Structure 1
Amino acid sequence: MHENTKCCLNSIEIGRAALRIALTNSRMEENKVKEKLAASGIRSTAVDFGGEFIPSIVKVIERAVVAAQRQGLVTETHVGAGAVAGAAHEALEQVKTKAVGFNVGGKIGIARAGEHLCVAIYMGVGVLNLNEMCVGLAHRSLASDE
């Protein structure tokens, strides 16, 4: 069943998985989601971030790449790093108009199955307790062995 489930996974399913893990509240919940996704043939990881938006962009992309490499979602090559960095950058582009000039904090979710890799950004944007929520989600394709 594991192989049959894996063959039917598409970019939409991997996007849902990345968003699911980005929405977790704690490491315990994150690990439960990660195990459930793994049972479906989807590898995943997540990492927290926060700070002023513009200076945080490079840090968010770096954290996504390092997390994906450490968890074995991509190889430690420029191809793997580039796919994660590109998807993370695109996800950040989707939330940039709300976030520029504000502090942000949230979680990056990364999911991979076969040739599909998705990065989801879930974050709060605001000053003090006046927060807006936003989500960015992007997909990249890369060879299954990358």
Structure 2
Amino acid sequence: MEIGSKVVATAAIKMALTSSRQEETMLKRVLLEQEEVKAVAVDYGGEFITSVGKIVERAVVASKREGVIKDTHADEGAVAGATREAIAQIMPKALGLNVGGKIGIARHQDHVSVAIFLGIGLLHLDEVAIGLGHRAVHD
């Protein structure tokens, strides 16, 4: 089976939905062994508007640190762009509110996907949202 954007996007979503570091580690290993997909997840939280830059930065830094992407402008730009796309999808629900959640990043060859899962706090009425971005990067 050819691994394409659907598999990589699914991997990013699964990483964003993990509930513990142990689950992240296990899923990373399974994705790498079974599908040759490199993946990482990173937590974040805070007031949404002021967190946007931090979310993008955390996604890029975690991706480089875990070897999901190389230390190149093209790879960093792909993750940053996919992260911004995911943020744009959840922005209408999150503007002006506190958020907390996880970013999942996955890559196989030239496919890079970023999924953002977040809880949006409004008093005791919590909302949830998922945003997904994808980019193609050539080695």
Q: Does 1:13 align with 2:11?
A: no
Aligned residues: 138
Pairwise mapping of residues 33-112 of structure 1 onto structure 2 (< 5 A)? 33-39=27-33, 40-112=35-107
String of CA shifts for 1:59-100, please: whole Å, max 9, x gaps: 000000000111111111211111000000000000000000
Question: Residues of 2 paired with 1:75 and 1:28: CA distance?
Answer: 25
Aligned-residue offset at 1:129 = 2.6
TM-score, normalised relative to structure 2: 0.97
Tell me which amino acid in the other structure corresponds to 1:53: F
String of CA shifts for 1:18-55, please: whole Å, max 9, x gaps: 00010000000111111110111000000000000000
Structure 2: gaps (5+ residues): none
> Over aligned residue pairs, what C-alpha RMSD do you find?
0.9
Question: Residues of 2 paired with 1:73 and 1:34: CA distance?
Answer: 11
Structure 1: gaps (5+ residues): none
Aligned equivalent of 2:136, options 133, 138, 141: 141
Question: Residues of 2 paired with 1:128 and 1:24: CA distance?
Answer: 25
TM-score, normalised relative to structure 1: 0.92
Kindly, what percent of the aligned residue pairs are identical? 49
> Could you tell me which residue of structure 1 aligns to residue 25 of structure 2?
31
Aligned equivalent of 2:118, options 123, 135, 139: 123
Aligned-residue offset at 1:127 = 2.4
Question: Residues of 2 paired with 1:132 and 1:19: CA distance?
Answer: 18
Aligned-residue offset at 1:128 = 3.5
